[in-house]
Structure 1
Amino acid sequence: MSVIALEKASLEMLERRLKQYFVKELDYELGQFQAQFLLDFISQEMGAYFYNQGVRDAQAMLSSRVDDLILAFDELEKMEPRPVSTL
Structure 2
Amino acid sequence: MNKKNKIELPKEKREEMILKIKNYFLNERDEELGDLASIMIFEFITEELAAEFYNQGVYDSYKYMNDRCEDLLSIQKY
- TM-score with structure 1 length normalisation? 0.78
Aligned match for 1:17, one of 20, 33, 55: 20
Does residue 54 of structure 2 align to residue 36 of structure 1?
A: no
Report % sequence identity. Answer: 35
Structure 1 stretches of 5 or more lacking a match? 79-87
Structure 2 stretches of 5 or more lacking a match? none
Partner in structure 1 of residue 71 of structure 2 = 68
Aligned length: 75
> What are the Cα deviations for residues 24-60 of structure 1, in whole angstroms up to 9, with x where unaligned?
1111111112111110001111111111111111111
Cα deviation for residue 3 of structure 1 reads 0.3
Q: Give the structure with higher Rg (CA).
A: 1
Does residue 7 of structure 2 align to residue 4 of structure 1?
A: yes
The Cα RMSD (Å) is 1.3
Does residue 14 of structure 2 align to residue 47 of structure 1?
A: no
Structure number with the bigger relative contact order (C-alpha 8 A, sep ≥ 6) is: 2
Structure 1 or 2: more helix by fraction: 2
Runs of 4+ in 1 over 3 A off after TM superposition: none
Does residue 62 of structure 2 align to residue 59 of structure 1?
A: yes
